Amino acid sequence: MMSATSETIGRLIHDARIARGWSQQRLADELGTAQSAVHRIENGQQNLSLSMINRLAEALEMPLIQSATKGAMNFRIEGPTKLSGEIEVRSSKNAAVALLCASLLNRGTTTLRGIARIEEVDRISEVLASIGVELTWTGEGRDLVIRRPERLLPETIDVRAAKRTRSILMFLGPLMHEFDRFELPYAGGCDLGQRTVHPHMAGLGKLGLSVVATDGQYHATVEKLDDLKRSVTLIERGDTVTENILMAAARTPGTTIIRNASGNYMVQDLCFYLQRLGVQIEGIGTTTLRIEGLEDIDVDVEYDISEDPIEAMSLLTAGIVTKSEMTVRRCPVEFLDVELAVLDEMGQKLEMSNEYLSRNGQTRLVDITLYPSELTAPMDKIHPMPFPGLNIDNLPFFAVICAAAEGQSLIYDWVYDNRAVHLSKLADLGANIQALDAHRLLIIGPTKWRGRQIQSPPALRPAVCLLLAALAARETTHLMDVYVINRGYEDLPQRLNRLGAKINVFWGDADD
C-alpha cells in the first residue's frame, strides 16, 4: 500500500466536504468538534485518532478515508531539532478517565471542561455510550456534557472498546450501586507485564462487591452492607484501586476510611469532583481518606480537569534532550517536585514563575523556562515512589535525560515487569543502554543520537521516549505504529512542530 500523509488525508477531507456543499462549521457540528479543528485537519496539522477517522468517513460518507488510513499510523521525525517558544500543559488523561467513570455515580448532568480528545478518552466514551449514557461535546469540542439514563445497560456494553482499556476496571465501583449482579469484559491497555487486579477485588470486597473472573468476563455480585462504618486498607497504594474504592464509597451510606491510599494527581481530581457532588472527603492528598457516602446523588455539576504532570514532564524532556530554550506553561508543580530536584542535581538550568491556581481552584501551577545545559549523571539510582515521590509514569523520561548526561546512571523501575525492556530500545537510536534485568537499566552518556526506522513499543511512555530522543537525533527517524501514543497524548506532533520540531504523520510504508 502506498503511504498516505496527514496532508493528503486533509486534502481528501477538504474535497469531500466541498463536494457535499458543507462549510467547515457544518462538518465540525457533525463531528462534535470546533471549526478550527476541521481547518487544522484539512491543512494536515491535526493528529487524527482512529475514532476521528471513522467519524469523518461516516459524516462525509467516504470510506476512501478509512481505506487510505488502513495501515498503522507512523511518525517521520527529522532531526536534530532546536525548540523555542511556549507550550501549555493540557489536562490530565488519567484524571479524565476516572471522572468519566465517576460520572455514572451522578443522576444529574456532569460537564467536564478541558477534557483531552485522545484514544483512551474515546474508548471510555464509546463504552459509556454503549450502556446508555448521552455524551455531547460543547465548547468548541473541549467540554463534554454527560447525562446518564435512569437505568444503565451493562448488558449492551461495547466489548471491543472495553477490552482496549484497563480503565474499564473503574466501572466496578460505580456499577455496584446499580445492580445486584453485572458483568464486565477483561481489562486491556498497555503491555507492561502482569498488573494484577487483586488489590481492586480485595478492597471492593470490604464494601460488598465480590468478583469472579471466568470466560473473559468479570462476574460481579453485590451484597448490601448493614454497618455504617467500614475501614479498607489497600494492599497496594495504587491510583486506580484508590479511585475504585472512592467511587464505591461515595454512594455507600455511612463512613468509609481508606488507608494506604494514593494521594496522586488523578485521585485528587476525583476527590474534588466528588466533593462537588456533595460527598464529604477528608485527607485529600494523604494516605488516609475519610468518606461520608450518600445514598443517592442527583446534582448538575461542572468541573475543570487539572493539568497533567506526565505531559508536563514529557514537554520538559523534549526541551532538555534537544538543549533548547523554551517555556512550559501550567505545570502542576506539586506533582513534579522530586523530578525537578533530580534535574537540579543533574545541572539543568531552569526558572520557575510564581505559583497560581488551576481552573479547578485547587491545583498549584507554575511556568517553567528551560535553558540549554550540560548534564551530569545523578549520584544515586533514579527510582519511582508513590506520591509525593518521583511519579511512576515520569520515570521513563529520565532514561532519555540520563542518556543525554555525562556519566553512568541507573534507572530502577520496580513497578512494572518489562517497561525497562521497552526503554532499552533507545539503544536503536544510539544510546549506550543495557537492561540488567526486567527492572533495571544501566545508561552511559552522553549519547550521539542517530535516526533510523524503529518499531514503537506497545507501552505509552517508552514509545514517547523514542519520539523525544528522535528530536535530538541526526537525520530522520521513522517511528512505526504509534497508536499507543495517541492513547495518551492529543496532537503531540503538531504541538511540538509549533515549537520548531519537524514531525510528519503518515500511514503505510516508510519507503513510499
The tens digit of pLDDT for each residue in 425-477 reads: 999 999 999 999 989 999 999 999 999 999 999 889 999 999 999 999 999 99
Region 145-174 average pLDDT: 88
Range list for CATH 3.65.10.10 in the chain: 76-90+308-507, 93-304
Position 278 pLDDT exceeds 60: yes
| 91-95, 376-380, 409-413, 486-490: the lowest-pLDDT one | 486-490
CA-based torsion, 26, 30, 34, 36: positive or negative: negative
Q: How confident is the model at residue 184 (pLDDT cuts 50, 70, 90)?
A: confident
CA-based torsion, 332, 337, 339, 344: positive or negative: positive
Q: pLDDT, tens digit, for every residue of 317-343?
A: 999 999 999 999 999 999 999 999 999
76-90+308-507 classified as CATH 3.20.20.10? no
Q: How confident is the model at residue 192 (pLDDT cuts 50, 70, 90)?
A: very low
Region 94-120 average pLDDT: 93
Residue 4: per-residue pLDDT: 79
User: CB neighbours of 448 closer than 8 A, spacing ≥ 6?
Assistant: 430, 474
Residue 405: per-residue pLDDT: 97
Region 265-286 average pLDDT: 97
Region 239-248 average pLDDT: 94
User: CB neighbours of 355 closer than 8 A, spacing ≥ 6?
Assistant: 333, 364, 365, 366
Region 271-299 average pLDDT: 97
Position 1 pLDDT exceeds 50: no
Higher pLDDT, 58 or 51: 58
Q: Are 107 and 148 in contact (CB under 8 A)?
A: yes
Higher pLDDT, 30 or 1: 30
Q: Which fold has domain 4-70?
A: 434 Repressor (Amino-terminal Domain) (1.10.260)
Residue 226: per-residue pLDDT: 79
Q: What are phi and psi of 291, to 5 degrees?
A: -120, 130
Higher pLDDT, 387 or 224: 387
Position 287 pLDDT exceeds 80: yes
Region 76-100 average pLDDT: 95
Q: Give DSSP secondary structure letters for 297-362.
A: ----EEEEPPB-HHHHHHHHHHHHHTT-EEEEEEEEGGGTHHHHHHHHHHT-EEEE---EE-TTS-
Mean pLDDT, the chain, integer: 90
Segments in 85-132 forming alpha helices (H): 93-102, 119-130
Region 71-89 average pLDDT: 92
| 56-60, 87-91, 405-409: the lowest-pLDDT one | 56-60
Q: How confident is the model at residue 129 (pLDDT cuts 50, 70, 90)?
A: very high
Position 304 pLDDT exceeds 70: yes
Cis peptide before 63 (omega within 30 of 0): no
Please state whether 307 falls in left (phi above 0), alpha (psi between -120 and 50) or beta: beta
Region 203-226 average pLDDT: 85
Position 507 pLDDT exceeds 90: no
Region 490-498 average pLDDT: 90
Nearest to 70 by CA among 48, 40, 92, 101: 48
Residue 66: per-residue pLDDT: 67
**Angle (CA) 180 133 210, round 5°:** 25
Higher pLDDT, 347 or 53: 347
Segments in 137-188 forming alpha helices (H): 159-163, 172-175
Q: How confident is the model at residue 202 (pLDDT cuts 50, 70, 90)?
A: confident
Higher pLDDT, 202 or 264: 264
Position 296 pLDDT exceeds 80: yes
Instruction: Give the DSSP H/E element, type plus range, for residue 112.
Output: strand 109-113
Q: How confident is the model at residue 188 (pLDDT cuts 50, 70, 90)?
A: low
SS3 242: helix
Q: Which fold has domain 93-304?
A: UDP-n-acetylglucosamine1-carboxyvinyl-transferase; Chain (3.65.10)
Range list for CATH 1.10.260.40 in the chain: 4-70
